[in-house]
Chain A
């Protein structure tokens, strides 16, 4: 079995995120890190590999992004991936969800994975959607926000929390599964693994290498366009009560609620 894990480089949570008002895109400069949600996907891959139910030959980390994104791949490899692939091309800049999902699917096609894993969302663009986009291009079944995976013969039994409670769904392989962060507690890489990460195979691919049509990616291939960016509307500061006399505080809270007809 071969598992591909989609990962993404995102601005470090500790760094304030900015919008470039010229290009209307997220300013992705500054400190970068592996999307924290993706570490759960790598951990899930490692648990399938180490679980012994199926024989996993390889775990391959795959990313699309600018040159600097190799750092996310190094992190992914230090967490256990065997090798990595970096899709990077000027033509991919400013791709929207539609274009990004298509491009990632084209890279994955060249690997023919039995299982594609990814995190439930990315920390910057908040695209909960990439897994389902990739799956439809690959014509694979797909589930998102999975919190438990049991591996069987040619299939997975997955659990997730859906609109009406917990669902248990059986999915035939090959499949695309986005995992929720409740699925596991990612391990910390060992110092040895961090040091060794740079030595593991990392293949760089341009769009022509994987058959991506240039007119379907980048700004020109995107199907949405940002008209404008605005600050959020300011919210008027609320009333504050400092609790000195609790009976009086409670009386104020109750009358505040009552005025708004919240005690009807």
Chain B
């Protein structure tokens, strides 16, 4: 067996960034271990030939397209189990995210396959893949290999870089799949409902995140003004979301979103491990906190010890002036 089958999630005619990262990573690894860099896509009419072929620019050579309900994992398990078995791929790769976890787990059961999750790096060694994953809240890193094929690799959200320097159009192959009975017993009633604020913190290049240290819900006004000046988006810690200061959609951390923006500016965030796991892959971390002993200073690139209420408004003005000039 050889080659890698990667899952790509799409919505309303576009693939998500996390999936494109996985497709790019699958292509890179397939070049190392040999075989196709294949992608599985599942959905309706918005999966046009053009959309599927476009995965070629991320390095995919072949795209298996199946018509089945979107947004639920089990139909995708049926599709990928069939393709993996019939075409003999050695690995299934996922970018993480809710569906990636569910599909990967379903395949584990269906194919009696080994699975690793929260993978941050995949290494090709002797024609096989080794998954690298942090465990115990990132206090140790393990290298895991698979004792049988296929192996299931579920990445940490946004762990894999999107690389659009691949080839031309990918070959599109339509797959007919008979869904398992239990895969038809969940039905999407409503998908993608936006509640509270319409925020998409996962794709933002700049995030200004607020925590308990803002002191009161109105503290988020300062974050919003600064985010506005920086051209970024506001995010929040679990503590303030639970306290009702900011919507859940903006929550970062173990029970919220995992983000990796170019700039992560943490305002009044202590940096508990549950928060750290959601943002530590950010390229540049700036922390402002009045407590010099806050754990966040241990993993920030620039730490500012001081009063947010004094610093944030002036910083907003200075950023505006700099960008305006």
Chain A residues close to B by CB (< 8 Å): 17, 19, 24, 26, 96-98, 101-102, 105, 120, 124-137, 139-145, 157, 160-172, 175, 180-182, 216, 222-232, 235, 237-243, 246-247, 249-251, 253-254, 256-258, 260, 262-263
Tell me if A167 and B188 are in contact (CB < 8 A).
yes
> Known pairs A137-B109, A230-B140, A262-B262. 12 more at Cβ < 8 A?
A124-B136, A129-B108, A132-B106, A139-B180, A157-B189, A161-B98, A164-B11, A167-B71, A180-B255, A223-B108, A238-B297, A253-B286
Tell me if A254 and B315 are in contact (CB < 8 A).
yes
Tell me if B189 and A169 are in contact (CB < 8 A).
yes
- Provide the residues of chain B in CB contact with A141, threshold 8 Å: 74, 182-183, 185-186
- Provide the residues of chain B in CB contact with A130, threshold 8 Å: 105
User: Which chain B residues numbered 283 to 325 have a C-beta less than 8 Å away from chain A?
Assistant: 284-286, 292, 297-307, 310-311, 314-315, 318-319, 322-323
Are A222 and B71 also in contact (CB < 8 A) when A235-B299, A243-B311 are?
A: no
B318 interface neighbour in A17, A105, A127, A250, Cβ under 8 Å: A250
User: Which chain B residues numbered 127 to 143 have a C-beta less than 8 Å away from chain A?
Assistant: 130, 134-143
A238 interface neighbour in B142, B302, B314, Cβ under 8 Å: B302
Tell me if B101 and A243 are in contact (CB < 8 A).
no
Alpha-carbon distance between A258 and B284 when the two chains are bound, in angstroms: 12
Main secondary structure of the interface of A (DSSP, over half): mixed
CB-CB nearest in chain A for B296: A238
Alpha-carbon distance between A243 and B304 when the two chains are bound, in angstroms: 7
Interface residues on B, range: 35 or more
Listed by A's residue number, 30 A-B pairs whose Cβ atoms lie within 8 Å are A17-B136, A24-B142, A97-B115, A105-B109, A127-B117, A133-B106, A136-B105, A141-B183, A141-B185, A142-B102, A144-B102, A163-B99, A166-B190, A167-B190, A168-B191, A172-B186, A223-B112, A227-B145, A228-B142, A230-B141, A232-B138, A232-B139, A238-B285, A238-B297, A239-B303, A241-B302, A249-B304, A253-B318, A262-B262, A263-B322
Tell me if A162 and B142 are in contact (CB < 8 A).
no
Tell me if B108 and A101 are in contact (CB < 8 A).
yes
CB-CB nearest in chain A for B117: A129
Q: Hey, what's the 0/1 contact readout for B12-36 against A, CB within 8 Å counting as 1?
A: 0000100000000000000000000
Q: Hey, what's the 0/1 contact readout for B203-234 against A, CB within 8 Å counting as 1?
A: 00010000000000000000000000010000
B73 within 8 A of A: yes
Chain B residues close to A by CB (< 8 Å): 9, 11, 16, 71-74, 77, 97-99, 101-106, 108-110, 112-118, 130, 134-148, 151, 154, 180-183, 185-195, 206, 230, 248-249, 255, 262-263, 284-286, 292, 297-307, 310-311, 314-315, 318-319, 322-323
Are A17 and B11 also in contact (CB < 8 A) when A167-B191, A254-B319 are?
A: no
CB distance from A157 to the nearest CB of B (A): 7
Alpha-carbon distance between A164 and B98 when the two chains are bound, in angstroms: 10
Tell me if A128 and B101 are in contact (CB < 8 A).
yes
- Provide the residues of chain B in CB contact with A157, threshold 8 Å: 189
A241 interface neighbour in B72, B77, B146, B305, Cβ under 8 Å: B305
Alpha-carbon distance between A75 and B153 when the two chains are bound, in angstroms: 34
Tell me if B135 and A125 are in contact (CB < 8 A).
yes
- Provide the residues of chain A in CB contact with B114, threshold 8 Å: 96, 98, 222-224
- Provide the residues of chain A in CB contact with B307, threshold 8 Å: 243
Alpha-carbon distance between A125 and B115 when the two chains are bound, in angstroms: 13
A145 interface neighbour in B98, B118, B180, B302, Cβ under 8 Å: B98
Are A163 and B11 also in contact (CB < 8 A) when A133-B109, A180-B255, A223-B146 are?
A: yes
